[in-house]
């Protein structure tokens, strides 16, 4: 199948994450269904067909950021087919990328983070695990996918660092901080053994069934503690990663250091957090200064 061949090559050559590959697969399947409704095979699509699909997405109310990713996937897919001589022309060759405005990430105040991290009950096995995960997430700025996939050989309590394998297979060393190290040590000393039971696994944070946790499951756990702690801002799987970066900048961290800690390949990706930090400082000034 054309889509499978394309994704297999992407997986082996580009280092894209599983989530991105899954999104590309979904994008191409939706295009296939759209074209089928017009009796057009995927490999026979013309520029007008692709444009009609993008216009349909716009009319259906899909976000511009989603449509930008779709067009990127289609350009790669048809470029692949052309390179393999499976088509004679690229229907996306003259289509311009969708312009997406800069969207500031949702973040939490330091007070909100403190309440969220204090919510799990460390006497409970699952909540002891969750607190260690939350503390580590906020202390290191890991992506949730990186967190749930951590293995025992990637953490060192003695050195106080975690070795992260990020996007594209790139490795980085990130310090954990004393609070996260204490939470992790407490969890490893007892709760992890109870979660694993008779199972054998090198996953640091197994699920209640002793297997690797999904990012969706951990997101639901975060939202559970947010409700209990009465933390109101809308949360996403990356909320604590955003808070990590923003709070570092608020306290004077160098932008390039934050870039390295987050594992961004480009400084421009990290620069969005300077806008978040400035916005937060302006809000604090307005709320608390007598002439704000």
Question: Known catalytic residues?
Answer: 143, 167, 238, 241, 264, 273
Closest by CA position to 182, among listed 143, 233, 142, 128: 128
Backbone angles phi, psi at 206, to 5 degrees: -70, 160
Q: Strand ranges (DSSP E) for 34-189?
A: 155-156, 161-165, 171-175
Residue 181: strand, helix, or coil: helix
Which H or E run includes 146?
helix 144-148
**Nearest C-alpha neighbor of 253 from the set 235, 236, 274:** 274
State the number of CA atoms in the 13 A half-sphere of 55 facing the CB: 7
- Asked if residues 32 and 42 have their Cβ atoms less than 8 Å apart, the reply is yes
Rounded Cα gap, residues 203 and 210, in angstroms: 9
């Amino acid at each position: 199948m054309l889509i499978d061949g394309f994704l297999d090559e992407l997986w082996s050559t580009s280092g894209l994450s599983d989530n991105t590959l899954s999104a590309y697969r979904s994008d191409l399947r939706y295009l296939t269904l759209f074209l089928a409704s017009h009796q057009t095979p995927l490999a026979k699509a013309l520029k007008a067909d692709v444009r009609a699909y993008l216009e349909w997405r716009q009319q259906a109310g899909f976000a511009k950021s989603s449509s930008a990713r779709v067009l990127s996937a289609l350009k790669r897919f048809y470029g692949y087919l052309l390179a393999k001589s499976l088509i004679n022309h690229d229907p996306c060759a003259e289509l311009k990328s969708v312009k997406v405005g800069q969207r500031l990430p949702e973040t939490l105040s330091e007070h909100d983070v403190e309440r969220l991290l204090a919510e799990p009950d460390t006497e409970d096995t699952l909540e002891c695990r969750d607190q260690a995960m939350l503390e580590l997430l906020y202390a290191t700025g890991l992506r949730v996918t990186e967190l749930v996939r951590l293995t025992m050989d990637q953490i060192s309590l003695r050195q106080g660092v975690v070795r992260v394998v990020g996007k594209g297979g790139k490795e980085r060393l990130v310090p954990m901080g004393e609070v996260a190290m204490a939470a992790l040590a407490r969890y490893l000393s007892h709760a992890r053994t109870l979660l694993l039971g008779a199972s054998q696994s090198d996953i640091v944070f197994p699920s209640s069934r002793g297997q690797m946790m999904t990012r969706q499951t951990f997101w639901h756990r975060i939202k559970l503690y947010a409700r209990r702690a009465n933390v109101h801002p809308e949360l996403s799987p990356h909320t604590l990663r955003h808070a990590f970066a923003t709070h570092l900048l608020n306290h004077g961290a160098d932008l390039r250091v934050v870039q390295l800690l987050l594992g961004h390949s480009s400084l421009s990706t990290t620069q969005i957090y300077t806008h978040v930090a400035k916005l937060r400082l302006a809000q604090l000034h307005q709320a608390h200064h007598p002439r704000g």
